[in-house]
Amino acid sequence: MADESQKWVLMVTAQTPTNIAVIKYWGKRDENLILAINDSISVTLDPAHLCTTTTVAVSPAFNQDRMWLLGKEISLSGGRYQNCLREIRARANDVEDEKKGIKITKKDWENLRVHVASYNNFPTAAGLASSAAGFACLVYSLAKLMNVQEDNGRLSAIARQGSGSACRSLYGGFVKWVMGKEENGSDSIAVPLVDERHWDELVIIIAVVCSRQKETSSTSGMRETVETSALIEHRAKEVVPKRIIQMEEAIQKRDFATFTHLTCADSNQFHAVCLDTVNFLLNVSQILMVCLIFRIISCVEKWNRSEGTPQVAYTFDAGPNAVLIARNRTSTSLLLQRLLFHFPPNSETDLNSYVIGDKSLMEDIGIQDIKDIEALPPPPEIKGKVPAQKYKGEISYFICTRPGRGPVLISGDSQALLHPDSGLPK
């Protein structure tokens, strides 16, 4: 290793997307290794709109592993962080940076400590899979820093030990998490199905209902489901295996009707097993959220039915945020008009922050200010049954996005979150 008195800092920055499951993971067969009771399939979201950026640094000057999340120091002592750090360190290799005169041998890594800084460009712990992008980015960036020579599939098995859904964020496009059979989890990995260019007509709109932190974590929610629900076994053993085969075929063939049917059915069944969970008590604010979920579902289902062929699929995770996947740009325009008609912003809301992400969709429908939203006609499928009341201000904002690519390295130090001289947050 280079002379410790030099106090050099070596850094890597990476960006990793989040993902949303269309066939859900819900339930573990091993809590520590994070092994699922069924396979799952997700779509990776465009990191331009939802991603984690993580910088990892190593220096002989660091005396402990430290991490800052969104600028605030957090503890790395939790089992999930420790498992990821241990597994990556065990695979570290020699690293040489000739320009900086740094040479780290495989053995040195045992004694070197790391600093980690991470930032999510979307709300954390609010049901938008921050743990997925976060742990995938942690593992990916550490693997690059430590010159780990394993492919993303092997890295996914490490990210999985941080958060199950994180393993699917190691690839772009549509991704399957194979639950695996081995007790040590070695075959429980993510497998890319198709990349993000395969079905590039799809457009995704996320209705963010509440960006506050959730009340029940997915981790404890699914534990209670496995312990108390009689339905979950039927779902994992009978329903999901068939759906996985059908979903893979629908994705390969870009068969939107089958894709929609499976995605909506699986989201609904996920809600059904939650309702079948003892202790799944709803407080008043959660009941209001459930009502909102049903309003969104009803708006989508009425439209799909009136068109004869599905135009949009819906899916929800462990919170009220709706993820709506539209078949193409034309149906996205029609969807956005419907969403804005039913869920207009409060009059004081700035339209620029009400629809974020790919704003060109707003240009497509000619909406420039709130008056244009107020002037939207009722969608034809509700003619004669126009609701007396619109749900003004019930959605915080919409994110317009699309299927996206997997993790990437960011070159240069300008986007790094740690200072190149001190290795402390910028």
Ligand X SMILES: C[C@@](O)(CCOP(=O)(O)OP(=O)(O)O)CC(=O)O
Ligand Y SMILES: Nc1ncnc2c1ncn2[C@@H]1O[C@H](COP(=O)(O)OP(=O)(O)OP(=O)(O)O)[C@@H](O)[C@H]1O
- Taking the complex as a whole, the smallest distance from the CB of residue 320 to ligand X amounts, in Å, to 13
**Would you count residue 163 as binding ligand X (CB under 6 A)?**
yes
Stretch that binds ligand X, among 97-105, 158-166, 244-252, 294-302 (CB under 6 A): 158-166
Q: Is the dihedral of CA 44, 172, 409, 398 positive or negative?
A: negative
Alpha-carbon dihedral 221, 135, 355, 218, rounded to 10 degrees: 0
Residues 33-62 that bind ligand X (CB under 6 A): 34, 40
Q: Could you tell me the smallest distance in angstroms from the CB atom of residue 69 to ligand Y?
A: 5
Which residues 205-244 are close enough to bind ligand X by CB under 6 A? 218-219
Q: Based on CB atoms, which residue is closest to ligand X, 321 or 331? A: 321
Residue in 119, 117, 135 with CA at minimum distance from that of residue 51? 119
Of 12 and 41, nearer to ligand X (C-beta) is: 41
Q: Which long-range contacts (CB under 8 A, 24 or more apart) does 100-108 make?
A: 100/8, 100/10, 101/2, 101/6, 101/8, 102/2, 102/8, 102/10, 103/1, 103/2, 104/1, 104/2, 104/10, 104/58, 105/1, 108/1
Q: Which does 40 bind (CB under 5 to 8 A by kind): ligand X, ligand Y, none?
A: ligand X
For the bound state, the minimum distance from the C-beta of residue 106 to ligand X, rounded and expressed in Å, comes to: 30
35 is in the binding site of which of ligand X, ligand Y, none (Cβ under 5 to 8 A by kind)? none
Q: Is 25 in the site for ligand X (CB under 6 A)?
A: yes
Give the binding site for ligand Y (CB under 6 A): 52, 69, 118, 120, 124-132, 134-135, 138, 217-218, 317-318
C-beta of 317: minimal distance to ligand Y in Å? 5
d(Cα 127, Cα 369) in Å, to the nearest integer? 29
- Does residue number 131 form part of the binding site for ligand X (CB under 6 A)? yes
21 counts as binding ligand X under rule CB under 6 A:
yes
In the bound state with ligand Y, the residue whose beta carbon lies nearer, of 132 and 399, is 132
Smallest CA-to-CA distance from 39 within 51, 27, 31 is with 27
Give the shortest CB-96-to-ligand Y separation in angstroms. Answer: 28
Under rule CB under 6 A, residue 321 binds ligand X: no
The span from the CA of 157 to the CA of 83, in Å, is 11
Residue 365, CB-side half-sphere exposure with 13 Å CA sphere: 25
State in angstroms the smallest separation of the CB of 198 from ligand X. 20
Which span (23-31, 195-203, 300-308, 380-388) binds ligand X, by CB under 6 A? 23-31
133 near ligand X (CB under 6 A): no
Is 73:115 a contact under the CB 8 Å cutoff?
no
Residue 115 in contact with ligand X, rule: CB under 6 A? no
Please give the Cα distance from 14 to 142 (Å, whole number). 9
Q: Considering the complex, what minimum distance in angstroms separates the CB of residue 164 from ligand X? A: 3
The answer to whether the CB of 263 falls within 8 A of the CB of 22 is yes
Q: What residue 25 binds from ligand X, ligand Y, none (CB within 5 to 8 A, per partner kind)?
A: ligand X
The 135-154 contact track toward ligand X, x by CB under 6 A, reads --------------------
Q: Which residues contact ligand X by CB under 6 A?
A: 21, 24-26, 34, 40, 131, 163-165, 218-219, 317-318
